[in-house]
Amino acid sequence: MKGIGVLLSGGGSNLQAVMDAVERGSIPADIKLVLSDRPNAYGLVRAESKGIPSFCIDRKQYKSSESFNQAILEKLTDHHVEYVVLAGYLRILSPELVECYRNKIINIHPSLIPSFCGMGFYGQKVHQAVLDYGAKVTGATVHFVDEGTDTGPIILQKAVDVLCGDTVETLSQRVLEVEHELLPRAVALLVQDKIKVLGRKVTLEEGDV
Protein backbone atom coordinates (compact mmCIF):
# COMPACT_ATOMS: atom_id res chain seq x y z
CA MET A 1 0.00 0.00 0.00
CA LYS A 2 1.35 3.40 -0.98
CA GLY A 3 2.16 5.92 1.73
CA ILE A 4 0.77 9.44 2.08
CA GLY A 5 2.07 12.23 4.29
CA VAL A 6 -0.26 15.12 5.11
CA LEU A 7 0.99 18.59 6.08
CA LEU A 8 -1.36 21.07 7.74
CA SER A 9 -1.43 24.17 9.91
CA GLY A 10 -4.97 24.27 11.27
CA GLY A 11 -8.16 22.40 11.97
CA GLY A 12 -7.62 19.63 9.47
CA SER A 13 -11.07 19.32 7.93
CA ASN A 14 -9.45 18.45 4.59
CA LEU A 15 -7.35 15.86 6.40
CA GLN A 16 -10.61 14.44 7.77
CA ALA A 17 -12.02 14.21 4.25
CA VAL A 18 -8.93 12.29 3.11
CA MET A 19 -8.99 9.99 6.17
CA ASP A 20 -12.67 9.24 5.55
CA ALA A 21 -11.93 8.40 1.90
CA VAL A 22 -9.11 6.07 2.95
CA GLU A 23 -11.47 4.32 5.38
CA ARG A 24 -14.09 3.92 2.63
CA GLY A 25 -11.48 2.37 0.37
CA SER A 26 -11.77 5.05 -2.31
CA ILE A 27 -8.13 6.04 -1.71
CA PRO A 28 -6.01 2.86 -1.95
CA ALA A 29 -3.19 4.09 0.29
CA ASP A 30 -2.21 4.56 3.91
CA ILE A 31 -1.67 7.87 5.69
CA LYS A 32 1.78 7.30 7.15
CA LEU A 33 1.98 10.52 9.15
CA VAL A 34 0.55 13.98 9.68
CA LEU A 35 2.85 16.96 10.21
CA SER A 36 1.98 20.43 11.43
CA ASP A 37 4.05 23.56 11.87
CA ARG A 38 1.78 24.59 14.75
CA PRO A 39 1.63 22.63 18.01
CA ASN A 40 -2.03 23.52 18.67
CA ALA A 41 -3.33 22.51 15.23
CA TYR A 42 -6.50 20.48 15.70
CA GLY A 43 -5.53 18.41 12.68
CA LEU A 44 -2.98 16.66 14.91
CA VAL A 45 -5.80 15.61 17.24
CA ARG A 46 -7.76 14.25 14.29
CA ALA A 47 -4.75 12.16 13.24
CA GLU A 48 -4.10 10.87 16.76
CA SER A 49 -7.73 9.78 17.09
CA LYS A 50 -7.15 7.44 14.15
CA GLY A 51 -3.80 6.17 15.38
CA ILE A 52 -1.87 8.00 12.67
CA PRO A 53 1.61 9.16 13.74
CA SER A 54 1.47 12.94 14.14
CA PHE A 55 4.23 15.45 14.74
CA CYS A 56 4.74 19.17 15.11
CA ILE A 57 7.82 20.58 13.44
CA ASP A 58 7.85 24.17 14.63
CA ARG A 59 9.81 26.67 12.52
CA LYS A 60 10.71 28.56 15.71
CA GLN A 61 12.80 25.62 16.86
CA TYR A 62 15.13 25.81 13.83
CA LYS A 63 17.83 28.33 13.04
CA SER A 64 17.11 28.44 9.32
CA SER A 65 14.45 27.64 6.76
CA GLU A 66 16.85 25.06 5.30
CA SER A 67 17.18 23.13 8.56
CA PHE A 68 13.43 23.36 9.14
CA ASN A 69 12.60 21.89 5.73
CA GLN A 70 15.33 19.29 6.12
CA ALA A 71 13.63 18.10 9.31
CA ILE A 72 10.36 17.75 7.41
CA LEU A 73 12.05 15.80 4.62
CA GLU A 74 13.72 13.47 7.11
CA LYS A 75 10.42 12.76 8.83
CA LEU A 76 8.72 12.01 5.50
CA THR A 77 11.57 9.71 4.50
CA ASP A 78 11.62 7.92 7.85
CA HIS A 79 7.91 7.10 7.50
CA HIS A 80 8.20 5.89 3.90
CA VAL A 81 6.01 8.65 2.48
CA GLU A 82 5.65 8.48 -1.32
CA TYR A 83 3.12 11.28 -1.82
CA VAL A 84 2.63 14.53 0.08
CA VAL A 85 -0.71 16.27 0.53
CA LEU A 86 -0.85 19.88 1.71
CA ALA A 87 -4.19 20.27 3.48
CA GLY A 88 -4.16 23.84 4.72
CA TYR A 89 -0.40 24.06 5.20
CA LEU A 90 0.60 27.72 5.33
CA ARG A 91 4.35 27.54 4.71
CA ILE A 92 6.29 27.40 1.46
CA LEU A 93 8.20 24.18 0.89
CA SER A 94 11.89 24.38 0.07
CA PRO A 95 13.07 23.74 -3.51
CA GLU A 96 14.98 20.69 -2.23
CA LEU A 97 11.84 19.15 -0.77
CA VAL A 98 9.84 19.92 -3.90
CA GLU A 99 12.52 18.32 -6.07
CA CYS A 100 12.51 15.15 -3.95
CA TYR A 101 8.76 14.81 -4.52
CA ARG A 102 8.44 16.30 -8.00
CA ASN A 103 4.83 15.89 -9.20
CA LYS A 104 4.06 13.99 -6.00
CA ILE A 105 3.02 16.95 -3.82
CA ILE A 106 -0.47 18.38 -4.19
CA ASN A 107 -2.16 21.36 -2.55
CA ILE A 108 -5.74 22.52 -2.14
CA HIS A 109 -6.38 26.24 -2.61
CA PRO A 110 -9.70 28.02 -1.94
CA SER A 111 -10.07 29.87 -5.24
CA LEU A 112 -9.98 29.26 -8.97
CA ILE A 113 -6.26 29.62 -9.69
CA PRO A 114 -4.82 31.82 -11.21
CA SER A 115 -7.27 34.20 -9.51
CA PHE A 116 -6.81 35.14 -5.85
CA CYS A 117 -3.68 33.12 -5.27
CA GLY A 118 0.01 33.58 -4.58
CA MET A 119 1.80 35.26 -1.70
CA GLY A 120 -0.58 36.56 0.96
CA PHE A 121 -3.62 34.71 -0.33
CA TYR A 122 -4.53 32.03 2.17
CA GLY A 123 -7.45 31.06 4.38
CA GLN A 124 -10.09 33.70 5.00
CA LYS A 125 -7.98 36.33 3.23
CA VAL A 126 -8.81 34.65 -0.08
CA HIS A 127 -12.56 34.86 0.48
CA GLN A 128 -12.33 38.46 1.69
CA ALA A 129 -10.43 39.37 -1.48
CA VAL A 130 -13.07 37.67 -3.63
CA LEU A 131 -15.84 39.63 -1.93
CA ASP A 132 -13.91 42.92 -2.02
CA TYR A 133 -13.28 42.52 -5.75
CA GLY A 134 -16.90 41.81 -6.49
CA ALA A 135 -16.20 38.51 -8.22
CA LYS A 136 -19.28 36.53 -9.21
CA VAL A 137 -17.57 33.14 -9.17
CA THR A 138 -14.89 31.57 -6.99
CA GLY A 139 -14.16 27.94 -6.17
CA ALA A 140 -11.40 25.53 -5.25
CA THR A 141 -8.31 24.19 -7.01
CA VAL A 142 -6.10 21.18 -6.47
CA HIS A 143 -2.69 21.63 -8.04
CA PHE A 144 0.80 20.21 -8.00
CA VAL A 145 3.30 22.06 -5.85
CA ASP A 146 6.35 23.52 -7.53
CA GLU A 147 8.94 26.08 -6.41
CA GLY A 148 6.48 28.97 -6.68
CA THR A 149 3.40 29.90 -4.65
CA ASP A 150 0.23 28.35 -6.09
CA THR A 151 1.94 28.11 -9.49
CA GLY A 152 2.09 24.36 -10.12
CA PRO A 153 0.04 22.56 -12.81
CA ILE A 154 -3.70 22.39 -12.08
CA ILE A 155 -5.25 18.96 -11.44
CA LEU A 156 -8.88 19.69 -10.54
CA GLN A 157 -11.07 22.77 -10.20
CA LYS A 158 -14.70 23.40 -9.35
CA ALA A 159 -16.57 26.70 -9.35
CA VAL A 160 -18.69 28.13 -6.55
CA ASP A 161 -21.07 31.02 -7.18
CA VAL A 162 -20.68 34.11 -5.03
CA LEU A 163 -24.18 34.94 -3.75
CA CYS A 164 -25.68 38.31 -2.97
CA GLY A 165 -25.22 38.89 0.75
CA ASP A 166 -22.36 36.42 1.12
CA THR A 167 -19.97 36.97 3.99
CA VAL A 168 -16.49 35.53 4.39
CA GLU A 169 -18.00 32.87 6.64
CA THR A 170 -20.83 31.79 4.33
CA LEU A 171 -18.65 31.80 1.23
CA SER A 172 -15.79 29.94 2.89
CA GLN A 173 -18.18 27.23 4.08
CA ARG A 174 -19.48 26.54 0.57
CA VAL A 175 -15.96 26.55 -0.87
CA LEU A 176 -14.82 24.19 1.90
CA GLU A 177 -17.50 21.69 0.91
CA VAL A 178 -16.03 21.68 -2.59
CA GLU A 179 -12.51 21.28 -1.18
CA HIS A 180 -13.69 18.19 0.71
CA GLU A 181 -14.93 16.78 -2.59
CA LEU A 182 -11.92 17.63 -4.76
CA LEU A 183 -8.99 16.78 -2.51
CA PRO A 184 -9.83 13.11 -1.83
CA ARG A 185 -10.58 12.64 -5.53
CA ALA A 186 -7.21 14.11 -6.47
CA VAL A 187 -5.37 11.99 -3.90
CA ALA A 188 -7.05 8.85 -5.26
CA LEU A 189 -5.96 9.74 -8.79
CA LEU A 190 -2.44 10.52 -7.62
CA VAL A 191 -1.76 7.29 -5.74
CA GLN A 192 -3.16 5.24 -8.63
CA ASP A 193 -0.85 6.95 -11.15
CA LYS A 194 -3.85 8.32 -13.05
CA ILE A 195 -2.44 11.83 -13.42
CA LYS A 196 -0.16 12.63 -16.34
CA VAL A 197 1.78 15.90 -16.52
CA LEU A 198 3.26 17.42 -19.65
CA GLY A 199 4.53 20.91 -18.97
CA ARG A 200 1.57 22.76 -17.49
CA LYS A 201 -0.96 20.38 -19.03
CA VAL A 202 -2.50 17.74 -16.77
CA THR A 203 -4.58 14.84 -18.07
CA LEU A 204 -6.59 12.48 -15.89
CA GLU A 205 -7.47 8.82 -16.29
CA GLU A 206 -10.47 8.85 -14.02
CA GLY A 207 -12.15 5.51 -14.69
CA ASP A 208 -13.92 4.46 -11.49
CA VAL A 209 -12.27 7.15 -9.33
Rg (CA), the chain: 16
The DSSP symbol for 39 reads T
User: At residue 134, what is the residue type?
Assistant: G
Q: Count CB neighbours of 80 within 10 A.
A: 12
Are 127 and 138 a contacting pair, CB within 8 Å?
yes
Q: Is 109 a catalytic residue?
A: yes
Closest by CA to 138, choosing from 153, 152, 121, is: 121
Which of these is catalytic: 79, 80, 109, 127? Answer: 109
Q: Which helix (H) or strand (E) holds 6?
A: strand 2-8
Full DSSP string of 89-156: --SPPPHHHHHHTTT-EEEEESS-TTSS-STT--THHHHHHHHHHT-SEEEEEEEE--SSSS-SPEEE
- Please, what is the end-to-end C-alpha distance for the chain in angstroms? 17
Any idea which residues carry the catalytic annotation? 109
